[in-house]
Chain A
Amino acid sequence: MADVKNILLVGVGGQGTILASQILSTGLVSAGYDVKMSEVHGMAQRGGSVTTQVRFGKQVHAPIIGKGQADVLVSFEIMETLRWLEFLKPDGKVVINNHKIPSVPILSGKREYPRGVIETISRKVDATVIDAGRIAEELGNPKTMNVILLGALVKAMGLTELEWRAAIKECVKPKFVEINLEAFKAGLSV
């Protein structure tokens, strides 16, 4: 199964990891890969920690990624990166959105948001930190954060040659295609 690549997208319920992984898998399918994708539904979505797992290659069996198996970990939230880091290959890459969403124990002042997470991670693995929220605001639509991160992921995976424009058009409503294409480009150039 050496030719199978594994991408783990993690974040917080409601952050829009689903659309990013939809575009990703659409692009991979049209490039002729076998693709499997697994995501969290139901109770865990209510503001909980969520993951989407995408695997692709010539032939994929299991739809889920094991510990130490992800080639790239894309984290939509800083602390979530640390929660899922053990799923990354020791020589894997991390794309981190520079964005904090404190969980309830932190909000109520019972626990501290961990300090120096990005530094800790950068010391261990190849990490790209992106201010996707700021870039999205500059583009004029804060919701495009996910597609900016997708752009950065595509760059990290070396998959820039695929038909991403078509994939975005297929997955996004017509009136949001242009802004998402811009967001994708912004992510690629980080």
Chain B
Amino acid sequence: MKKLMTGDEAAARGAYEAGISYAAAYPGTPSTEILENIALYTEDIIAEWAPNEKVALEAAIGASIAGARALASMKHVGVNVAADPLFTFGYTGVNGGMVLISTDDPGMHSSQNEQDNRYYAKFAKVAMLEPSNSQESKDMVKAAMEISEGFDTMVLMRMTTRVCHSKTLVELGEKSEAVKKPYVKNLQKFDAVPAVCRKLHVALEQKLIDLEKFSNETELNYTEWNSKDIGIVTAGIAYQYAKEVYGEKASYLKLGFTYPLPVDKIRSFASQVKYLYVIEELEPYMEEQIKAAGIPCIGKDVVPRTGELNPDILAKALLGVEREVIRYDDSVVVPRPPVLCAGCPHRGFFYELSKRKDIMITGDIGCYGLGGMDPLYAKDTCICMGASISMGHGAQQVFNRFNEKMRAVAVIGDSTFFHTGMNSLLNTVYNRSNSITCILDNRITGMTGHQENPGTGFTLQGLPAKIVEIEPLVRALGIDLVKTVNPLRLDELKAAFDWAMEQTEPTVIITRWPCVLKKHSEHDMKEFGDYKSLCEVDTDVCIGCRLCTKPGCPALAFDNESKKASIDKIQCIGCQVCAQVCPKKAIRKAGN
């Protein structure tokens, strides 16, 4: 029977069918659901959230060397974090089959850049597969195991947002009983010291020659013959778009195995068509190698290299064709940017922080990135996971050296702190700056959709875990000045900022309140209780000053005609941040 599955779900199914027994990841859109779905195979696969991608990949490498088939998944920028083990594991090769799934995000639906991770395969010298739909996402995880064990290489499977998050039909298969290989101590293979790696590098170059031969022969790279006027070399989701635009008016060399590229197969295909097009999303990864092999082709000179590709862009770029659309005045359409939810515990924090002058707010990756938007504007920078704390330190050192009265305030979430913020805070302590670090602990990994982390008390597969408390952790790292506050209390926040601004040593402010969307654990119920209620506006008391709109809550509206505020009963959860902002006490808990 065929089942409609996302690429992520299908890749998870592939892990099950391929007999993978260990999988690790750090959540990140669009990769998150791969491990979430693998975790459902509780009897067959050990599935674990790691605190970051480097740890996830290393844990999976350990599982592979121990003899099991293993998988690690992460978003494209996560591979940057995991790049260190990736490159050397490329040298050593595997014991049990090993696949690393990188999910790239062309168009930056939910990311800070749109790097093309296909270059990682070439750079780290590991084999690469690129699925173009859910069926291939499943099947290629299985193929990855055969290739990995057959050629003694890790396989990078590169997916993209549209493949990860589109549902397409999948024919399910049976689970193959992969036998765990024995662990054998082998220093000449797995002890990456210079003397060993000099030999491994030489062997690796031969491995790549063997893999290129495989690439030329495998059915993962296949030809579809139609008209021979135009021949299209394509891979991944771009194949689907090319088919959408050209249908049977062109022939295709559809590549599923894209490192090493099947250069002979491409050359033969090119020799049989009048014009050769290379259609790929983002960078000219294939085009560069095809041109370097002396094969003329048309690619990025017409197909854009920025943003997400789609059939419309291709049709316009290659055929000059545009579909007829309805013309209308869209200037009246008001933007609808994502916002912090009604009752989000970050709102009060950013509202209080936004009132401070002479500060540089170094932000990080998570929902709290929205603190930089209108009307809060409480953010100056965002670079990557964990960077808030290290950048805050560097900035503070410079402000102090040049006698500027600026203070650096780093803002980071609980999961991001565990990810890479901890090392950064150690740096702040060690190198003695007085930057202010704010850890917004909402008791969950929020943005990616509520994944457990070392602070929540549960593992991915629902087992109870030790709760790592942030305050003692921060003290253990060497921070003496720590305050934990309730972010729904603006007076507590203000007092904490006043206190921190005065210090000559590094300070940490921890805000501790659960994400408004979080399903409370028993521990949460004990600590925070059933706090949800409702606020309302007394319109007789409201003077129309609009101050309550400053925190930017989507449950609160200001009517320009009546000059009164009102609160949406469905969205409001009674956090009372607006009530504390109102100078006339016109907002109060309903029923009071």
Contacts and interface: CB of A to CB of B under 8 A. Distances in A.
B241 A61 contact: yes
A42 interface: yes
Contacts of B305: none
A46 to B, nearest CB: 4
A13 B105 CA distance: 20
Contacts of A40: 109, 165
A64 B311 CA distance: 8
Interface residues of B, number: 55
Contact of A61 (B110, B243, B339): B243
6 nearest CB pairs, A to B: A42-B110, A42-B29, A63-B166, A68-B323, A114-B332, A46-B338
Contacts of A62: 240-241, 243-244, 310-311
Interface of B: 2, 4, 29-30, 109-110, 133, 162, 165-169, 237, 240-241, 243-244, 247, 310-312, 323-326, 328, 330, 332-341, 367, 369-370, 374-375, 447-449, 546, 549, 552, 554, 556-560
A25 B557 contact: no
Given A79-B336, A88-B326, A103-B337, 4 more contacts: A36-B133, A41-B30, A63-B168, A111-B334
Contacts of B240: 61-63
A69 B554 CA distance: 33
Contacts of B167: 25, 35-38, 63
A43 B447 contact: yes
A85 B325 CA distance: 9
25 contacts: A12-B336, A13-B338, A36-B167, A37-B167, A38-B166, A45-B338, A49-B336, A60-B168, A63-B168, A64-B166, A64-B310, A66-B311, A67-B325, A68-B326, A69-B323, A79-B333, A82-B330, A85-B330, A86-B325, A103-B335, A104-B336, A105-B374, A109-B558, A109-B559, A115-B332
Interface in A84-111: 85-88, 90, 102-109, 111
Given A35-B4, A36-B168, A107 B333 contact: no
Given A63-B166, A103-B337, A82 B241 contact: no
Contact of B110 (A41, A67, A88): A41
Contact of A125 (B323, B326, B334, B336): B326
Interface of A: 1, 12-13, 25-26, 29, 34-49, 60-64, 66-69, 79-80, 82-83, 85-88, 90, 102-109, 111-115, 117, 120, 124-125
Contact of A38 (B29, B162, B333, B552): B162
Contacts of A109: 546, 549, 558-560
A107 B549 contact: yes
Contacts of B332: 82, 114-115, 117
A28 to B, nearest CB: 9
B326 A86 contact: yes
A41 B450 CA distance: 13
A47 B241 CA distance: 30
A29 B3 CA distance: 8
A82 B331 CA distance: 10
A173 to B, nearest CB: 16
Given A68-B325, A68-B326, A63 B162 contact: yes
Contact of B247 (A1, A25, A37): A1
Nearest to B548: A108
A49 B337 CA distance: 7
A21 B546 CA distance: 39
A29 B334 contact: no
B554 A83 contact: no
Contacts of B328: 82, 85-86, 120, 124
Contacts of B110: 41-44
